[in-house]
Amino acid sequence: MVIGASAAGKRVMTGSSGLGISLKQEAVSYLAAFELPAVIVDIMRGGPGLGNISPEQTDYFQVVKGGGHGAYRCLVFTPESVQEMCDAGYNAFALCEKYRMPGYILADGVIGQMMESVTLPEPTTYVYDPEWKITNKVNGEANYLTTIYLENDDLERRNNLLQEKYRLVQEKEQSAEEYFTEDAELVMVAYGISARIARTAVRRLREQGYKVGMLRPKMVFPFPERALKKIVRDGKAKAFLCIELSPGQMLEDVKLAIDCKLPVHLAYRLGGNIPSVAEICEKAVAIINAKGGC
């Protein structure tokens, strides 16, 4: 239904939790291959299998690394509040339509079920009438969309065009928040509810005299590698600490972004459990104090 509506030039959105997102993966691959914009909301719950309905962040691999077949990518927004959930809806439609690709709003179960005040943007008049929609005609011929390229060279050319687009997205659309990173010796990296816990931990550790900061990806594709590389280049940081509700799915991207030039540690919980501020502070202090420093 989403593919058909998008192909007809309509703005489309769908959503689910982890199990439902798994079932949609073939269609997401088709959206990417057709170059159709669509916004998908994934409220991450415990897994694998039936798991439970408590929060995790273990859909990261599935959403950020593809999930379906083929070499495709999706835009991935990672809000940390109800306000950012609202804002991400507007931003996701804009970027999905700009780049003609599917995009996710990726939130854990805490953010997805949280109640907070929201400031809604002013209503705008927006005419959405893409020239590529299948109901339009070009030179008298109806538009059509296909994902099948039986000749190897044709499919390779098609894939190369997609990869060029993804490289452009990685170059142009990186987004992250930095919190006390200017002089931080230990930089936490977190998103969603993990980032809110990390922010409180940073404040508490700062009060105790520890030079700790946080980098929060607002999007994880494209991943904010420029901000991470800059922290390394500035020379103050001695280590990173990823805080996740997964066993280190984002940690791999942090290591790649910094070319493994600094140690990257991990603090995590699973099964719907959430690390406390005290646990994060204890982990951070242990890293800082180990062998005289990070």
How many Cα atoms occupy the beta-carbon half-sphere of 181 within 13 Å?
Answer: 23
Q: Quick one: 194 and 131 in the same domain? A: no
Burial of 124 (0-12, 13-18, 19+ CB in 10 A): exposed
pLDDT for res 87: 95
- Of 138, 172, 206, the last residue of a domain is 172
Q: Quick one: 145 and 184 in the same domain? A: no
pLDDT for res 135: 82
Q: Domain range for residue 37? A: 2-172
CATH number of residue 259's parent domain? 3.40.50.920
**What single-letter DSSP state applies at residue 200?**
H
Q: Quick one: 181 and 266 in the same domain? A: yes
Q: Which two tokens stand for residue 33?
A: 């291959």
Looking up tokens 């030079």 gives 211
CA 248 to chain CA centroid, Å, is 14
Percent of the chain clearing pLDDT 90 (strictly above): 89
- Of 128, 157, 172, the last residue of a domain is 172
CATH number of residue 138's parent domain? 3.40.50.970
Q: Quick one: 109 and 144 in the same domain? A: yes
pLDDT for res 127: 86
- Of 172, 194, 226, the last residue of a domain is 172
> Tell me: the pLDDT tens digits for 257-273?
999 999 999 999 999 99
Nearest by Cα to 56 from 276, 275, 254: 275
Is the preceding omega at residue 121 within 30 degrees of 0, hence cis? no
Give the residue ranges of DSSP H helices in 100-150: 109-113
> Model pTM greater than 0.85?
yes
Kindly give the pairing relationship between strand 137-138 and strand 141-142: antiparallel
Q: Quick one: 42 and 166 in the same domain? A: yes
Q: Quick one: 33 and 156 in the same domain? A: yes
Q: Quick one: 168 and 183 in the same domain? A: no
Q: Quick one: 166 and 194 in the same domain? A: no
Please state the domain count of the chain: 2
- Is the model more confident about 18 or about 180? 180
Rg of the chain over Cα atoms, rounded to whole angstroms, equals 21
Please report, for residues 44, 65, 95, 106, the alpha-carbon distance to residue 57 in angstroms, rounded to integers and kept in the order given. Answer: 6, 14, 23, 9
pLDDT for res 294: 57
Q: Quick one: 230 and 263 in the same domain? A: yes
Taking residues 45-59, report their average pLDDT. Answer: 94
Kindly give the pairing relationship between strand 212-217 and strand 176-179: antiparallel
> Tell me: the pLDDT tens digits for 188-206?
999 999 999 999 999 999 9
Q: Quick one: 127 and 266 in the same domain? A: no
Q: Quick one: 75 and 161 in the same domain? A: yes
Q: Quick one: 167 and 231 in the same domain? A: no
